[in-house]
């Protein structure tokens, strides 16, 4: 949405309702956004990429609950992180159980 676009009251109500229903995920997403503005985090490219991937995962979880397409599918782009890894960074084929995000 550009700065000149007008959002109707119905769109705003829907967005606020979704934010209220998914408050815990919104808090996690915003916390990651704040972490990305930290000077130490800004200096670490790998950390920045992982924080962005976590945000994408949280967004996709919220989209799935609302019945919306995956974030990258909605844009027609390939997934940003197509590796299948565990939380510790090891590939899943090493035998570690894959873990999801929990609030």
Q: Per the structure, how many domains does the chain have?
A: 1
Tell whether 102 is covered by a domain: no
Tell whether 99 is covered by a domain: no
Tell whether 55 is covered by a domain: yes
Tell whether 2 is covered by a domain: no
The 10s digit of each residue's pLDDT in 43-88 is 999 999 999 999 999 999 999 988 989 877 766 666 555 443 444 4
Measured CA angle at 76 (ends 54, 31), to 5 deg:
20
Q: Are 21 and 62 in contact (CB under 8 A)?
A: no
Model confidence pTM above 0.85: no
Considering the chain, what is the average pLDDT of its residues? 76
Band (pLDDT 50/70/90 cuts) for residue 18 is confident
What is the reported pLDDT for 31?
94
Tell whether 29 is covered by a domain: yes
What is the reported pLDDT for 91?
37
Residues spanned by the domain of 24:
9-94
Tell whether 79 is covered by a domain: yes
């Amino acid at each position: 949405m550009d700065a000149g676009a007008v959002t109707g009251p119905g769109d705003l109500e829907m967005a606020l309702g979704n934010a209220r229903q998914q408050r815990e995920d919104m808090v996690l997403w915003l916390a990651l956004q704040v972490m990305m503005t930290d000077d130490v985090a800004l200096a670490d490219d790998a950390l920045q990429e992982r924080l962005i991937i976590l945000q994408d995962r949280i967004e996709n979880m919220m989209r799935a609950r609302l019945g919306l397409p995956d974030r990258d599918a909605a844009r027609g782009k390939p997934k940003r992180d197509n590796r299948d890894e565990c939380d510790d960074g090891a590939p899943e084929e090493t035998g570690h159980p894959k873990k999801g995000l929990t609030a």
